[in-house]
Amino acid sequence: MRSSAEACFHRGEPGGGVWVVAMSREEDLNLVREALQGCHGEDALRIAGVGMRIVSTLLRKNRDYGNSASEVPVLAPGLSALEGIQTRMSDKVKRLSRLLAGNDAAVQESVTDNMGDLGGYSILWVALKEKIDGKEIFGVGSATQTGAEVSSSVAPGGEAAGFASGDG
């Protein structure tokens, strides 16, 4: 008998690639649960809590926005969905650099708010990249790509491609 998490994620026979992913997710969920219960110390509790808040915010916004981050930007149809996320990330990095340089904000926002947004956009980018590639690309033991591979698969020759071509 499979656990509820295994049943939820299971899409193939035991030993198949999807079964391994399901077991990995089960292990990930257990680790997060343990961290949220304080089993791995105060820092792990804090990291898990922040991660949960970022993910729950993403899930709520994704529902409200209709999964727009996975689509070509309406006002920039020449960009891919990945480039749209990269553009949002670039805006946040620019904003952070101004806040960290001591420039007063005309709009009430903090470095912490912007860091959380950047973390959320990073999650959206990785989730979309995995969807496009059809495989998990992030995590312990997962396949990784060099910056050049990401750049060539995202935006050949495009301005936003430079974002992804950095050290990975």
- In this prediction, residue 138 carries a pLDDT of 66
Mean pLDDT in runs of 10 for the chain (168 residues)?
42 47 79 94 96 95 92 95 97 94 83 94 95 80 44 38 34
- In this prediction, residue 29 carries a pLDDT of 92
- In this prediction, residue 47 carries a pLDDT of 97
- In this prediction, residue 156 carries a pLDDT of 38
Q: What is the SS3 assignment for the chain?
A: CCCHHHHHHCCCCCCCHHHHHHHHHHHHHHHHHHHHCCCCCHHHHHHHHHHHHHHHHHHHHHHHHCCHHHCCCCCCCCCCHHHHHHHHHHHHHHHHHHHHCCCCCCCCCCHHHHHHHHHHHHHHHHHHHHHHHCCCCCCCCCCCCCHHHHHHHHCCCCCCHHHHCCCC
Supply the pTM of this predicted model.
Answer: 0.69
